[in-house]
Structure 1
Amino acid sequence: MHNSAIGKIPRPEYAEWMNSIGERIRAAMRAVSMTQKQLAERVGMTPDALSRVLSGQRGLAAVELAQISRELDADMHELVTGEPDPHRLVLSARHQYDHETGERRLDGASGDRVLLENIRLAYAQAGKVPAARQLHHDVEGARALLRSDFVRPFVDRLAEIDVDVVRLNDLSTAYSFLVEERPVIVIPGTGNWFYENWSLAHELAHLSLGHHGVLKGAPGYEEREAAANDFAAELLLPSEFMHSVAWQDLGLPELAELVWERGISTEALRRRANALGLVMSPPVADAVLLSTQKLLRRHWTGARYGDPITQRMTEAGGRRFPSWLKAAHLEQIAAGAIGKGTLAWMLEVSADALEVDEPAPAEELDDTDLDKLLG
């Protein structure tokens, strides 16, 4: 009988589906230069079992599929359906760059995955994502959107042009991606505002230039990283401005003021000047070899009251999520659509201690009510 054959002899459409999965797994193996034998060993399958999977003669258990997608760094949804997961984040990242060797690295990417997945979940639970305006594709257009005095309130100015900024401790580097069509930049909370500003400018470049999936090993990633860094350099330290500075006559208090106002590090300033062929006086050249904090603590005279250096550090270390995203979670919680766990995580508070507008818990039926309900 036909029913007795179900599960023993694959139907034609099932066999065709398994063949297509096998082809996509082969393509993912080629993309990471992994052999069939290596993949089988890593996922705990015999070479023969994997061979039958790839030829469409054997199915895959869910755990096997998950292991294969993890080892190949592939989208499991895409392996199964042939279509990208609509909820998957297509990340671009700010790579670490070794100026001696010219090598770009992403040393902490694997450790960032859990935090990035939590961010993805926060957006997925929010419901409708607000539309965002179109970004300009050049530095001057970006500067016009941000307005000339954007450096000190950089994060807020990005929010004004519909670029979300998330700041979290324990991230290894900065990332950017789109949620639907809304641009998002994620930055580590380091307390170093000068590192943060360059990260924001770098990731804004990826978004403005239409870069998606700029990760080590992706086609063209080195060229796109270089383009993003050039964009960031011109946004924060424009060539015209750099050439206008009298580097031979600049005093150290004026140098410190420049570093403070431009929101950049001494290293970034030194490398930008070198790239533009600008020659500094010996005292200035020595001063930009100091750490940013040391230069400012020793030579900056702009503080009128309090400790603005420490205040700026504090601002660059605080956890941050977009206001609209937190408001959307409050609405979803009030409607009973989601719990408050993700909002509590965004706020870095205990979910039990977080008091929000929630639907009243359903009342339990006692025996009398249950008898009435059942007739």
Structure 2
Amino acid sequence: MKALIFLVFGLLSYFFSGQTYPTLDNDKLLLYYQTIHSAEKHIIQNEMREALSQYKTAFKMNAKPPAKDIYNSMYVAIELKDKDFANKQYEVMRCFQYPFEEDFLAKNKGIIAPKNKKCKNKLNTALIVKLDSLFELDQKYRLLSKGDYKKVQKEMTLGDSIASTRLLELIEKYGFPTEYEIGLAGIRPKFLHKFYFIIWHQSAGNAYSPQRVNFSPYLQKALNEGKIIPEYATFLMDLNNGTNFFITDAHDLRSKTNHVVLGEKVEYLECCYINKFYYPENRSPEQNEKIIQNFARINARRTKIGLSILDEMVQKGIHRAKNPNTPFLFPDARVRVQVITNEEAEKQFLIQYMKVK
């Protein structure tokens, strides 16, 4: 009961917040992202022809589409055996130096035929080297700590301060880096550029390394220039500002596992569970009315900044969790792993979460 009361308080807190929230003021980009969300919706419904049509429409609006969209559209074309479009997108990803799996070409023999043409975009090698060195500094003491950050707090705080201020200098000098300048070599999962982690660690609520730089104004500018996708911009801005403008606890999607070892692949996952308040029958009439209003407000915020609505986000998460080998990447498909090792932990988990219907 306490957990549910806390959840309601968290959901209703938006009504009493006088803070302003960021928006995407570029109408052309807004339409682009709406079209991309339509394509992704078709993907999870296995409507590949419709998805490819939406991607082609979207790319006419954006001369430099994000790598995530190029990548997903390539795989849609592969499934449809549209060789021309698949190879066109493959060449773009190759020029980004994307680290394809070793067996990628073998798996797609007969569809992907590399031409290795000269790349149109030229990567900024000097900038790549500088960003990589800052990422190494950001990670150095986190890796040495093996999870015990208190042990290296002083060194980590100093490292974060240096990395964040130098990153700020690079952004002011070169603009906000994208795959068109720094490529995708050594990219983290879900197309997270390594320097994003430096911004991540400037969280307003970081208990181990106090915030030195708030990158929100630079993220807002980059968003409106199409240099960062809304999913990452909103996530990082919320972290930097200590806000939670675009998500609710009721949309918290989880998979269960009974065994996990740090650094190793999870052996068993059971998908999918969601907070009970996601379903109206688990709310009182008074709660239901207020929560529906709150969902509408948050969906309005999400739409104005180029995100998909909350329910579509959940559906992407379910699709990703139920299809772990799918090649498609949806950055807003958030599914947390819940480790449950005994009956009491299971009991407590099921107080707040239930199987997705």
TM-score normalised by the chain length of structure 1: 0.23
Higher relative contact order (Cα pairs below 8 Å, separated by 6+ residues):
2
Q: Which structure is larger by alpha-carbon Rg, 1 or 2? A: 1
TM-score, normalised to structure 2, is 0.23
